[in-house]
């Protein structure tokens, strides 16, 4: 069930544009991902996010 989700996460990760959690384990019923600590949202958060999202779309 999570095969395509795992493939998608690996594809996004391969672009090196945004921080993607590593897949720890998955099967037909569960998907376990690495925990990523969130940062505080500051003035540049949304501009950085937009830039990273544009880079992601450029690379895929």
Residues 4/26, Cβ–Cβ less than 8 Å: no
pTM here is 0.73
Q: Which domain holds residue 14?
A: 3-59
pLDDT tens digits, the chain, 60 residues: what are they? 899 999 999 999 998 888 899 999 999 999 999 998 887 788 888 888 898 889 888 876
Residues 20/5, Cβ–Cβ less than 8 Å: no
Whole-number pLDDT of residue 56: 84
Give the count of domains, the chain: 1
On the CB side of 14, CA atoms within 13 Å amount to 8
Within a 10 A sphere around the Cβ of 17, how many other Cβ atoms? 18
């Amino acid at each position: 069930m999570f095969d395509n989700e795992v493939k998608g996460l690996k594809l996004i990760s391969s672009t090196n544009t945004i921080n993607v959690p590593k897949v720890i384990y998955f099967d037909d019923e569960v998907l376990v991902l690495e925990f990523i600590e969130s940062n505080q949202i500051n003035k540049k958060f949304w501009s950085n996010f937009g830039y990273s999202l544009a880079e992601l779309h450029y690379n895929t």
